[in-house]
Structure formats: structure tokens, C-alpha cells
Chains A and B, each alone.
Chain A
Amino acid sequence: KAGVTQTPRYLIKTRGQQVTLSCSPISGHRSVSWYQQTPGQGLQFLFEYFSETQRNKGNFPGRFSGRQFSNSRSEMNVSTLELGDSALYLCASSLAWRDSSYEQYFGPGTRLTVT
């Protein structure tokens, strides 16, 4: 079974631009979560989707948004990029939500650099 895939793997953008990152969960997984990883703040939760609905949101500004499609694939969008948005963005999928017995499986991440 294929793992979680994220595209693109690397991205360079300029301040003020917007970016869209994509995540394809493991087949059969319906929950997708996004995390931001930076050297200074570590791993921080962005949001979680299940059945095309956002179920939980972290403490990030409204410039960060996401969505989930009927096939469980998810995208996250960051508008008006700032230098501080440079990070590794990780996607994780799980069979379901609201049940901690279901493990989260992480993708390799998208490395975003904002210049």
C-alpha cells in the first residue's frame, strides 16, 4: 500500500505570493492533518479534515487555509507569504478521527522557502 504522498517536495516563493500544497493520504484513510515544522517553533498543528470538513484548527492566522476533497486528498493554501512561513509542511493521514487508537502516518513533507 502506498504511503502518504505530498507534492511538491520543494518550493521557493517570494514574499507576498500565495502557495498551494497537496497531500494524498493512504488509500482508505479519511482523516488528514497538517503540521508546520520550523527550527524555532518545532512541530505545530495547523488543521485536521475528515469527510471534507475541517474538524480542528490550530493557532495560525487566517492566511493559512485548507480543504479536503471527496477522495480524501487535501490541499493547504498560504496567502500573502511571509518570510516566517518558511518551513517543512507535513501531512498525516489516519483511518478516522476522534479515536486515538488510529495511528497517524506522515508524508515526507513539502519544504517551503520564502525569499
Chain B
Amino acid sequence: GNSVTQMEGPVTLSEEAFLTINCTYTATGYPSLFWYVQYPGEGLQLLLKATKADDKGSNKGFEATYRKETTSFHLEKGSVQVSDSAVYFCALRLIQGAQKLVFGQGTRLTINP
């Protein structure tokens, strides 16, 4: 089946630290990969995406590269801010098929000033 595994949280960092949140996936087909962010009391916002191997998605200083050989899509940011505190979800969706997203369990990130 299709599944996504994220590093367990919570993750606590100081402002301006380097961030990595690991994400690996298992898919029966060829997926598109996504990172979503959820701020307290809100729905999910798409942070970045990649639709084919070696693609790099980037947005707001966050980056993730689609690595087919390691089935990974790790999220990175060079210098985090307090405003980045949120829950981050890695997700996949098969290219051929429905719009159904398969999510990882989420990683809660807290940035201290």
C-alpha cells in the first residue's frame, strides 16, 4: 500500500537554527510529494511540492528534494523563525488516480526566541 513516515516530534529549536524534518514514503505507483503546514486552529496550507524525481520544491525558505532512490522528501530550512512554529505534514498522491492524499503523522515544531 501507500504510506508516509515522518520523524517523530515534537521538535524544539532555537531561532536561526537549521531545520530538518525527515520524510520517507512507500508507494505502489509514482507519487507526487507534498509538505503541508498547519498553524494552531487552522486548516492545512500547502508549503511546497515536487512531482518527479530530483525535483526540488521550495517556498518561504523551506526546501525539499524528491529522492526516488531513497524514497525520501526531507524538509529543510536554513534559519528558522518563531513564526515557523506549527505542525508539518508530509504527504503523497499518486500521479494516476484520485486526489486522495496520504499523510504522515505530522511533526510538531516549536521555535524558541
Contacts and interface: CB of A to CB of B under 8 A. Distances in A.
Do A and B originate from a single complex? yes
Interface of A: 4, 31, 33, 35, 42-43, 45, 48, 55-56, 58, 90, 92, 94, 97-98, 100-109
A103 B49 contact: yes
Contact of A98 (B98, B103, B105): B98
Interface in B97-111: 97-106
A-B pairs, top 5 by smallest CB distance, nearest first, are: A56-B98, A106-B43, A100-B32, A43-B103, A106-B44
B48 to A, nearest CB: 11
B61 to A, nearest CB: 20
Given A43-B89, A100-B32, A100-B51, A106 B45 contact: yes
B96 to A, nearest CB: 7
A31 B98 CA distance: 10
Contacts of A33: 99-101
Nearest to B91: A43
Among A35, A48, A104, residue most surrounded by chain B Cβ atoms (within 10 Å): A104
Contacts of A98: 96-99
Interface of B: 31-32, 36, 41-46, 49, 51, 89, 93-106
A109 B101 contact: no
A66 B109 CA distance: 34
B96 A90 contact: no
A42 B43 contact: no
Contact of A100 (B41, B93, B103, B106): B93
A97 B98 CA distance: 6
A39 to B, nearest CB: 10
B99 A104 contact: yes
A103 B100 contact: no
11 contacts: A42-B103, A43-B103, A45-B102, A92-B44, A92-B99, A98-B98, A100-B32, A100-B51, A100-B93, A105-B46, A106-B44
